[in-house]
Amino acid sequence: MNLPATSPQQPATSEIHIAIRSTRPQLSAELRELWEHRELFYFLAWRDIKVRYKQTVLGIAWAVLQPAMTMIVFTLFFGKLARVPSDGVAYPLFAYAGILPWTLMAAGVGASSGSVVGSPNLITKVYFPRMIIPGAAVLSGLVDFLIAAVGLALLMARYGGHVSWTLVGLVPVVGLILLLAAGVGGFLAAVNVKYRDVRYIVPFFMQLWMFATPVIYSASLVPARWRVFLALNPMASYIEAFRAVCFGRPLDWAGLGLSTLVTFAMVAVAVRAFRTVEQTFADYI
């Protein structure tokens, strides 16, 4: 009986090890990804605008009433009673020119800080750059700003504002305000995902920030030796620049430049913090 020949022992298959290491995303790749999702950015901004005015009695009139009523209160208490100096400008126009850019920034921070928590379906079911959500929330406040700017135009016509082609200088100032709101709001939105009491801190934080900003008073009231610290508050320089353009006065380029650097630094920190905790959003939401 012939037994089958035994086959020689096969050599053991060599094992293949695959190491997966996370790499730091490239800035160019992230910007390209954001650009590819620009239609979603516009859609989310338009959604926020429609939700804001849905089932309201006065509709877009709220965009004018809020700064107008605030201006009236400030004029009565600070302009008439306290007689706060307004740099030779009628106090209603002075106050409105500070309230308008401040409202744009405050509304942007408030909307973006709760935007990620308010979009659980998008976060958990669809992939896209998450930074689009707080950015779109900030942009939605621009519509209110443009509507409320009608009130500024009326006050300038009434009290003799500086109406000329130099008003185009408001465009970069508004852009810097939106960038600042996106940075602060984006950072708070990332923190709010894990610590929900941020929504209670934001209104108090914004109130303190307003009193540290020359909204109801002029920066000229601050002693000269302290104005460099005032420039570390970007909104102080932006509101002063906004007023300077409206009233036809020279800009404080040094303070504006310092505030711009501070704004870009704050945005860089906010983006870094947002990207760090972005992967855990679905776990907490």
d(CA 82, CA 111): 33
Is the Cβ–Cβ distance between 174 and 143 less than 8 Å? no
Is the Cβ–Cβ distance between 143 and 63 less than 8 Å? yes
pLDDT at 22 over 50: no
d(CA 210, CA 27): 33
Q: Residue 124: CB partners within 8 Å, gap ≥ 6?
A: 282, 285
Summarised one tens digit per residue, pLDDT across range 239-267 is: 999 999 998 888 888 889 999 999 999 99
Widest pairwise Cα distance in the chain: 121
Summarised one tens digit per residue, pLDDT across range 143-171 is: 889 999 999 999 988 887 777 777 888 99
Q: Residue 199: CB partners within 8 Å, gap ≥ 6?
A: 113, 114, 192
Summarised one tens digit per residue, pLDDT across range 190-213 is: 888 888 888 888 989 999 999 989
pLDDT at 20 over 50: no
pTM: 0.83
CA distances from 253 to 44, 231, 256, 258 (A): 35, 11, 5, 8
The amino acid at residue 191 is V
